[in-house]
A and B are shown apart, each in its own frame.
Chain A
Amino acid sequence: MTKTKSRPVPGPAGSYPGGKDRTHASPAVRVSGLRHEFDGRLVLDIADWTVSPGGHCLVLGPSGSGKTTLLNVLAGLLRPTAGIISISGQDIGALGPSELDVFRGRHIGIVFQTLHLVSALSVADNLHLARYLARLPRDESRLHRVLDSLGLGTLAAARPRTLSQGEAQRVAIARAVINDPTVILADEPTSALDDDNAEQVLDLLTGQAEACGATLVIATHDRRIRDRFGALLELGGPE
């Protein structure tokens, strides 16, 4: 079972440059009475946790503490054993499977630890695919804005297998923000990076989250980045 320590700090109020006005909205993320068991073992136990709209929160903990499980639960990729998860006021547990998929596509952007770009598609098509699957119209201008803001303007036609690790990570971030999500979830985005690159990736993530007014939740065991975040949810190691 994991122990949790939370230090919630409200996110910045008001509107965000280039983003949506999410002032006075319900908490971007609300977790209540969350418990998740795996193979009869309790791997996640969070009594109450919220993140304000536009806020940035770090979920910190060692390997096996349930960070990835928490992100999967927040994304609706995993149904918890018990508890309520609300994203922008929507109880995602109340949604049917297809509704949940659609909700996820529209409201949640995910940057996985292993980037998982679709290798058969170009960089631009990876982003177009994200909009298509979320049932959003193709938007070339938004695509180019996002790619340019991440320094990927010249790589739109490139295949993922030709990209460097850093470029691929930026494409994964671009894909997470292309649908203008409410919440961005990033799993261990800096774990394999040196200090400088870790800083750069965090700058990109926070910059993109602010640009679209999204709430950013980063799960990591990387204590180097602890001080960059005011809000913290610390998960203990497995007992």
Chain B
Amino acid sequence: MNLLTLSIAYIRDRALSTVLNLLMLALGVATIIVLMLFSDQFTNRLKQDSRGIHLVIGAKGSPLQLILSSVYHVDIPTGNISLKEATRIGKHRLIKSAILLALGDAHRGFRIVGTEHGYPALYGARIAKGRLWEKPFEVTIGARVAEVRGLDVGSEFAGAHGVAGTGAEHERNPYRVVGVFKPTGTVIDRLIMTPVESVWIIHEIKKKHKAASPMETKQAPEDREITALLVHYRSPIAAISLPRFINRNTGMQAASPGFEIKRLMALVGVGIDTLHGFGLLLIGTAALGIFIALYNAMQERRYDLVIMRSLGATRGTLLRQVFLEGLIMAGVGTALGVVLGHAVTGLLGQLLPEAKAMGLSGVVWLSEEWYLFLLAGAVGIAATALPAAQAYRADIAVTLASR
């Protein structure tokens, strides 16, 4: 027998109210954990997907849309830009490297990206099977594309017009899978990569409504268009002058992924903050629940407390016992909430396709989670303070006389 076993005995003695209070606290903590894990992994994913890309040059329009469509492949492109102009800018002295992107088609929800070998190299993508694309209509696909669509080296499929892949299919010009990338945990996993020429040929055919050789483009080089140019600066100075230069002196726009994502997070952050507030509200409600439970328990137990004093317990012992009881409830509720939060996050990562594509995982520990235990301690102490003070101040003789 000690204060811990005594506190546990008291907690078990009011099992229903304890379970309900623990559940409420656990739900509050779990809500915050899910949000923390989601926002952390979402932010990391955004950073990973834009690594090595300092600037995106594309058609004028919304800079955020340009970033979302060309870096994260989740929005429709703002339009096309001239290959000639893009190539000229790509040779600017402040640019170390530039990668062409041509979008427009997709296959059953996975985008077909006309690009260069440098694009998967940006993400450190390595071949799992086969090889990189070499000729038009050869594709190398991301791991998630292979898994979901059941494609493998040698498979053929038709692309469909539109980035969602729900438009008319280009059945006469099928793509052939020549390689599959290993999983990277980046946007590469859900892309189908092919030479830029594939996109030019497909859309040239579509424009002119006539058959063309699937292996070559008859379009004059000066007429060719691309969707975006992914730029890597030669030096940080470029970040100051290059975007302004492009936006003022060309028909294109330049957008910085870092800047636009900060803007996006500021917008999304309002929602996340609201949900955080909701989680804190649940924790506050749970704290109130623990307070009410302990307060009522102290009223019911005031004779127990007096008896404990008569058995030799000091006021300090009673104070410690009541605080311990509150801390146990807060600690167990928080621990349950943390476990629940990780389990729910893991489950969401398995069940929701978008979360799965993002690689949302519950098996991630954030250092901020320790603060939740500190918060739980504060909740436990705050909820217990008044009942503990009552136990401390209880007058034995008066309490006994009131019986």
- Residue positions of A touching B, CB distance < 8 A: 68-69, 72, 75, 77-78, 97-98, 101-102, 104-106, 110, 112, 114, 116-121, 125, 128-135, 138, 175, 179
Contacts and interface: CB of A to CB of B under 8 A. Distances in A.
Contact of A118 (B304, B314, B396, B397): B304
A129 B308 contact: yes
Given A102-B314, A121-B6, A77 B308 contact: no
Contacts of A118: 304, 307-308
Given A106-B312, A114-B303, A175-B311, 8 more contacts: A77-B400, A97-B315, A104-B311, A118-B308, A120-B10, A120-B12, A129-B1, A129-B311
A97 B314 contact: yes
Contacts of A175: 311
29 contacts: A68-B400, A72-B396, A77-B310, A97-B315, A98-B316, A101-B309, A101-B314, A101-B315, A104-B310, A104-B312, A106-B312, A112-B400, A116-B306, A116-B307, A117-B307, A118-B304, A118-B307, A120-B9, A121-B6, A129-B1, A129-B6, A129-B308, A129-B311, A131-B1, A132-B1, A133-B311, A133-B313, A134-B311, A179-B312
B400 A72 contact: yes
Contacts of A106: 312
A88 to B, nearest CB: 15
B172 interface: no
Contacts of B312: 101-102, 104-106, 130, 133-135, 179
Contacts of B400: 68, 72, 77, 112
A121 B1 CA distance: 10
Question: Quick one: which of B10, B310, B317, B401 has the most chain A CB within 10 A?
Answer: B310
B397 A116 contact: no
B403 interface: yes
A72 B304 CA distance: 16
Contact of B396 (A78, A114, A119): A78
Contacts of A98: 314-316
A120 B403 CA distance: 19
B397 to A, nearest CB: 4
Contacts of A97: 314-315
Nearest to A78: B397
Nearest to A136: B312
Nearest to B6: A129
B contact face: mostly helix, strand, loop, or mixed: helix
A82 to B, nearest CB: 16
Contacts of B309: 77, 101
Nearest to B297: A120
Nearest to A106: B312
A114 B304 contact: no
Contacts of B315: 97-98, 101
B397 A105 contact: no
A115 B298 CA distance: 18
Contacts of A121: 6, 9
A142 to B, nearest CB: 14
Contact of B303 (A110, A116, A131, A135): A116
A77 B311 contact: no
B1 A75 contact: no
B317 to A, nearest CB: 7
B13 interface: yes
Contact of A105 (B6, B13, B313): B313
Nearest to A127: B1
Contacts of B12: 120
Contacts of B1: 125, 128-129, 131-132, 138
Interface pairs A-B: 9 shortest CB-CB: A105-B312, A120-B13, A128-B1, A134-B312, A78-B397, A133-B312, A77-B396, A132-B1, A133-B313
